[in-house]
Amino acid sequence: MYFAALLARTEDGWEASDTELDDVETLSDLTDLAREASVDEDTVLVFIEQEDAWFGVVRVDGEDDPRIFISDATAAARSSYGEILLTDELLGREPGAEDTIAALEELVGLDGTEDGDPDTSPDNDHTNDDDDDGLDADAVPAGPLGDTRVLADLGLPEAELLMLRTDALTEIADALGAAEVLETVR
């Protein structure tokens, strides 16, 4: 079960709206959604939470690149919404590296057979084909990942953000002075 909401800062305080992520496939889509909710290019926060397993905060300030914090990258890697936030840049990988490696393996034919020859080698491939488009949870660092200071200037210091576990989004909203506003969309 997921919960997703947008908090947009206005001159009158924070405005919250729940949001559907069904049409969001990339971080760029999520960033565009946040910018649409922005008033005068003010700060917009996107909260995503999966039943106390992990939470993520994406901060969009005008046209700046989004800033991301994920409470548990390993748990998020097992989630379709978490995969949106776990970008190559956030994981410290060269963008598109996985696609390049897969294309090279296909081009070179690393199974040891020539094109057209049957593969008579024993099947030692024990990979799970169900995870082909997902992130390998082993390749994702355990624990928090991203910009730990993403909310520091809004009232939630880095140390407090790192200590949050259950009911984290409520605690974040409380620190921002937006608890009542967030509760209206929960």
Tokens representing residue 131 in the block: 């995870």
Rounded to an integer, what distance in angstroms lies between the CA atom of residue 112 and that of residue 95?
Answer: 28
The predicted model scores a pTM of 0.78
Indicate the helix (H) or strand (E) that contains 180: helix 179-183
Q: b/e map of 157-176 (b: 16 or more CB within 10 Å)?
A: eeeebeebeeebbbbbbbbb
Measured in residues, the chain has a length of 186
pLDDT at position 130, please?
Answer: 47
Query: Could you list the mean pLDDT of each consecutive 10-residue stretch along the chain, which spans 186 residues?
Result: 92 90 92 90 94 93 95 94 91 69 53 52 48 58 94 96 90 95 91
Q: Are 66 and 31 in contact (CB under 8 A)?
A: yes
pLDDT at position 58, please?
Answer: 97
Tracing tokens 């992520």 back to the chain, one arrives at: 21
